Amino acid sequence: MSTPTLEKQDQAPEPADATAAHTITVTFRIRRFNPEVAAESYWEDFQLDIDPKERVLDGLHKIKWDHDGTLTFRRSCAHGICGSDAMRINGRNRLACKTLIKDINPEKPITVEAIKGLTVLKDLVVDMDPFFQAYRDVMPFLITTGNEPTRERLQTAEDRERFDDTTKCILCAACTSSCPVFWNDGQYFGPAAIVNAHRFIFDSRDEGGEQRLEILNDRDGVWRCRTTFNCTDACPRGIEVTKAIQEVKRALITRRF
């Protein structure tokens, strides 16, 4: 599991009277921002009776459906596939749909805010354009020369294994928006773009590796990485993001020497 979470172990015997004995009261402390109302953001508390085995996303749904319909956030698949609902939960970037309430100490208020380093548009929704611009800039598609083969481009199991880890990315931006270099200067490509470049640089079928390395060799490329490991900690897919960045650095150095 990629995001270590605090386990609550004291499962004290509950009084067996109430029908809803399995629910607990949890405070959701959400950072709200609406540019049509105020220039400042503010924290708003919501009290919910909720099963601790539910996810933070379920809590957000409850709030939006039963308490305050203006709460704005992104989600699509609700099952950790689409990468829409990365947010900062208790100060760490996670997917709301993969974070169980019981795992993040529901005794204390659960803080939920937008991911950092990207412009907040409303509540938990940020402008993802700069993130996807960096992604597009590393050319995340197969580049080949010569005639197209009449059948699949074959590859050995070992060749496939080489970049297996970085194929798992769902472009949620949890890594990039956990990176202190990116917080301070959004022109850094950021971990997610490097992960997706890695996926093609180390693919034996791809011939655009040189171009991608050249792009990442520049001012805003891999050399800005300071190895803080925030990205690896943040990735909900368990991708070893920092390792992938180091492998690109190594490829750049061995290319020269």
Partner 1 sequence: MSAETTTPANDAVSAYDVDHPAPVIEAPRARTRKTPKTTRTNFEMYGWLFMRLSGIVLVVLVLGHLLIQLVLDGGVTKIGFAFVAGRWASPFWQAWDLIMLWLATLHGANGLRTIINDYAERDNTRLWLKGLLYTAAGFTIVLGTLVIFTFDPNIR
Contacting positions for partner 1 (CB under 8 A)? 29, 31-45, 113, 117-121, 129-131, 133-134, 137, 180-181, 183-187, 189, 214-215, 217-221, 223-224, 249, 252-253, 256
At 46, list the tokens: 């919501």
Write 93-97 long-range contacts (CB < 8 A, 24+). 93/174, 93/175, 93/177, 93/178, 93/234, 94/3, 94/56, 94/174, 94/234, 94/236, 95/172, 95/174, 95/236, 96/55, 96/56, 96/57, 96/60, 97/55, 97/56, 97/57
Q: Is 226 in the site for ligand HEM (CB under 6 A)?
A: yes
Provide, rounded to whole angstroms, the least separation between the CB of residue 89 and ligand FES.
12
Q: Is 26 in the site for ligand SF4 (CB under 6 A)?
A: no
Provide, rounded to whole angstroms, the least separation between the CB of residue 81 and ligand SF4.
10
In terms of CB distance, is 86 or 197 closer to ligand FES? 86
Give a three-class secondary structure readout of 61-96: HHHHHHHCCCCCCCCCCCCCCCCCCEEEECCEEEEH
Residue span binding ligand SF4 (CB under 6 A) among the ranges 50-58, 98-106, 211-219, 236-244? 236-244
Residue 48 main-chain phi, psi, to 5 deg: -130, 145
121 binding partner (options ligand FES, ligand HEM, partner 1, none; Cβ < 5 to 8 Å by kind): partner 1
Considering only CA atoms, which of 66, 22, 68 is closest in space to residue 45? 68
Q: Is 115 in the site for ligand SF4 (CB under 6 A)?
A: no
228 binding partner (options ligand FES, ligand HEM, partner 1, none; Cβ < 5 to 8 Å by kind): none
Residue 166 main-chain phi, psi, to 5 deg: -80, -5
37 binding partner (options ligand HEM, partner 1, ligand FES, none; Cβ < 5 to 8 Å by kind): partner 1
76 binding partner (options partner 1, ligand FES, ligand SF4, none; Cβ < 5 to 8 Å by kind): ligand FES
Provide, rounded to whole angstroms, the least separation between the CB of residue 182 and ligand SF4.
11
Interface map 158-187 toward ligand SF4 (x if CB under 6 A)? -----------xxxxxxx------------
Residue 87 main-chain phi, psi, to 5 deg: -150, 170
Report the alpha-carbon distance of residue 177 to residue 143 in Å, rounded.
Answer: 28
Provide, rounded to whole angstroms, the least separation between the CB of residue 98 and ligand FES.
7
Considering only CA atoms, which of 128, 109, 113 is closest in space to residue 41? 113
Binding site for ligand SF4 (CB under 6 A): 169-175, 191-192, 195, 234-235, 237, 239, 241
